[in-house]
Amino acid sequence: MLILVGKEFLLDSPYGDELPTKGFDPGEDTYEAPPVDGTKLKVDVDPSSQRLQLLEPFDVWNSKDLVDLTVLIKVLSPCCSISQKVYTTHFKEA
C-alpha cells in the first residue's frame, strides 16, 4: 500500500482468538425466566428517547376475520428460494 507521501508500508496480519479462551457461556446461570404474571411488569423508557417508545395496547379483537383485503407486496427478483418463488411469482414487482 502507498500512504499519502508515497511511501510503501505493510499492515500487520490480523490476529485474535478463534474461540473464547474461557469457553462459551452455557446460559445456565445467566438466563432469567419471564415472570408467570407479567401484568404488573413496568418497562421504563426515557420519554425523550429518539429510538424507543412504548406502544399502547391494541384493541381487543372483535372476533371477525378481515376478508377481501388488498395487500401490497414488494419483492426483489430473483427470489432466493423455491418456496419464495411459488408465492411471489404471482405478483409484479412494485
Rounded distance between C-alpha atoms, residue 72 and residue 93, angstroms: 10
pTM: 0.29
The string of DSSP codes covering the chain is -B-TTS-B--PPPP---SS-TT----STTT--PPPS--TT------TT-SS--PPPPPPPP-S----S-------PSSPSSHHHHHHHTTS---
Q: Which is higher by pLDDT, 56 or 4?
A: 56
Average pLDDT rounded to a whole number, residues 75-87: 55
Q: Which is higher by pLDDT, 42 or 74?
A: 42
Q: What is the pLDDT of residue 38?
A: 85
Domain ranges in the chain are: 69-94
Q: What is the pLDDT of residue 52?
A: 92
Strand-pairing partners, residue 2, are: 8
Rounded distance between C-alpha atoms, residue 36 and residue 39, angstroms: 9
Instruction: Answer for the pair 74, 92: CB distance below 8 angstroms, yes or no.
Output: no
Provide the percentage of residues in the chain whose pLDDT is more than 90. 9
